[in-house]
Amino acid sequence: MRGLLMRRRHSAGSKGAADRPPVPAGPPAVELDRVTIRYTEADGNERVIVEDFSLTVPRGAVHCLAGRSGSGKTSLLRVATATQTPDSGEVRWAETPVVGLNHKQLAAARRKHMGYVDQGATVIEELTVLDNVLIPAMPEGITPAITERAHELLGRFGLAAAARQKARSLSGGERQRLAIVRGLLLEPTALAMDEPTASLDRSTADTVIEAMHTAAASGAALLVASHDPEVISSAHTVTRLV
Ligand SMILES: Nc1ncnc2c1ncn2[C@@H]1O[C@H](COP(=O)(O)OP(=O)(O)OP(=O)(O)O)[C@@H](O)[C@H]1O
């Protein structure tokens, strides 16, 4: 393994060990099993992001993929969310292997297991907040039950009053929370987030960190790529890429 250190959150960071919550003992949500990711760079050199790297994130836990820009956070997040195939190794969601699934199988597994919040929390500006949240349910039809779940989640994440507003009116922090709600709509095993606090001011970023932990407490595993020290120190466990 090159340039990689994995630590439990309570072994380091800005807070004392006594301040940190124990790692939840939920069932495995996301597993990387002896994963290797390497690239051939423009100059012909090989770049190894991780080699024979294994990680288990249980339901209820927040795991942070940390490291400087270019260290490979997004690459590892892509492999964990099966939008990139590793050079070797296996990825499992709720103990189901996903490397090598065909497009249709992967789409079904993703709907069941993996919510995703992209960097910047993309929303459709002209749709209402509620309709943005309901997007993942559209292929199978919007039922009263799913609409009720959307409202319940919007309430839990402080967006109930915004449900009928156009998404264009939302602030950066509200967009992140909307994207979390949308990612949780289908009750996935895990939710992946790419740099959720980038470009937010500190107090707004802190509300997003709180929302991440609310999402984990609801039973999802959170896998978060971030170089924000507060995201890193709030996580139950951290992988540091260098
Ligand atoms: N498909 C690819 N082919 C070659 N090199 C790549 C490829 N994807 C990423 N890289 C390189 O691998 C390294 C890690 O990239 P990655 O985007 O995973 O890092 P990161 O930590 O997420 O960076 P940032 O915080 O800036 O988004 C970078 O040097 C990048 O240029």
DSSP for 170-197?
--HHHHHHHHHHHHHTT--SEEEEESTT
Query: Taking 80 as the threshold, does the pLDDT of residue 66 lie above it?
Result: yes
Task: Read off φ and ψ for residue 140, nearest 5 degrees.
Answer: -100, 0
Structure confidence at residue 227 (pLDDT):
93
State the distance from the centre of ligand 1 to the C-alpha of 182, rounded, in angstroms.
27
Confidence of residue 151 (pLDDT cuts 50, 70, 90): very high
pLDDT tens by residue, 20-30: 678 888 899 99
Structure confidence at residue 14 (pLDDT):
38
- Our answer on whether the CB atom of 69 is closer than 6 Å to any ligand 1 atom is yes
Give percent of the chain with pLDDT exceeding 70.
92
Q: How many domains does one find in the chain?
A: 1
State the distance from the centre of ligand 1 to the C-alpha of 49, rounded, in angstroms.
9
Task: Please identify which residue in the block is written with the tokens 């090598």.
Answer: 100
- Our answer on whether the CB atom of 226 is closer than 6 Å to any ligand 1 atom is no
Q: Which atom of ligand 1 is nearest to the CA of 71?
A: 21
- The span from the CA of 87 to the CA of 90, in Å, is 10
Structure confidence at residue 17 (pLDDT):
44
Residue 15 falls inside a structural domain: no
pLDDT tens by residue, 117-126: 998 899 999 9
State the distance from the centre of ligand 1 to the C-alpha of 161, rounded, in angstroms.
39
pLDDT tens by residue, 5-45: 444 333 333 344 456 678 888 899 999 999 999 999 889 99
CB-based contact 27:94 (threshold 8 Å): yes
Structure confidence at residue 6 (pLDDT):
44
Residue 192 falls inside a structural domain: yes
- Our answer on whether the CB atom of 240 is closer than 6 Å to any ligand 1 atom is no
Average pLDDT, the chain: 90
CB-based contact 1:214 (threshold 8 Å): no
Query: Taking 90 as the threshold, does the pLDDT of residue 129 lie above it?
Result: yes
pLDDT tens by residue, 172-228: 999 999 999 999 999 999 999 999 999 899 999 999 999 999 999 999 999 999 999
State the helix-helix crossing angle for 172-184 and 202-217, rounded to 10 degrees: 10
- Our answer on whether the CB atom of 71 is closer than 6 Å to any ligand 1 atom is yes
Query: Taking 60 as the threshold, does the pLDDT of residue 168 lie above it?
Result: yes
Three-state secondary structure call for residue 86: coil
Q: Is the ipTM value over 0.90, yes or no?
A: yes
- Our answer on whether the CB atom of 233 is closer than 6 Å to any ligand 1 atom is no
Atom 14 of ligand 1, nearest CA residue: 72
Atom 23 of ligand 1, nearest CA residue: 70
* CATH number of residue 37's parent domain: 3.40.50.300
Expressed as residue numbers, the domain containing 195 is: 25-241
Residue 19 falls inside a structural domain: no
State the distance from the centre of ligand 1 to the C-alpha of 169, rounded, in angstroms.
33
Structure confidence at residue 173 (pLDDT):
92
**Alpha-carbon distance values, 82 to 58, 59, 87 (Å):** 18, 18, 12
Instruction: Choose among 81, 103, 102: nearest CA to 91.
Output: 81
Structure confidence at residue 20 (pLDDT):
60
- Our answer on whether the CB atom of 75 is closer than 6 Å to any ligand 1 atom is yes
Would you tell me how many other CB atoms lie within 10 Å of the CB of residue 118?
Answer: 13
Three-state secondary structure call for residue 238: strand
Would you tell me how many other CB atoms lie within 10 Å of the CB of residue 169?
Answer: 11
Structure confidence at residue 8 (pLDDT):
38
Instruction: Choose among 94, 69, 74: nearest CA to 84.
Output: 74
Give percent of the chain with pLDDT exceeding 90.
84
Query: Taking 90 as the threshold, does the pLDDT of residue 242 lie above it?
Result: no
Query: Taking 70 as the threshold, does the pLDDT of residue 3 lie above it?
Result: no
- Our answer on whether the CB atom of 67 is closer than 6 Å to any ligand 1 atom is yes
- The span from the CA of 172 to the CA of 123, in Å, is 11
Residues in the chain: 242
Query: Taking 80 as the threshold, does the pLDDT of residue 61 lie above it?
Result: yes
Quick one: tokens of 229? Answer: 């020290």
Residue 156 falls inside a structural domain: yes
Pairing of strands 46-58, 28-40: antiparallel
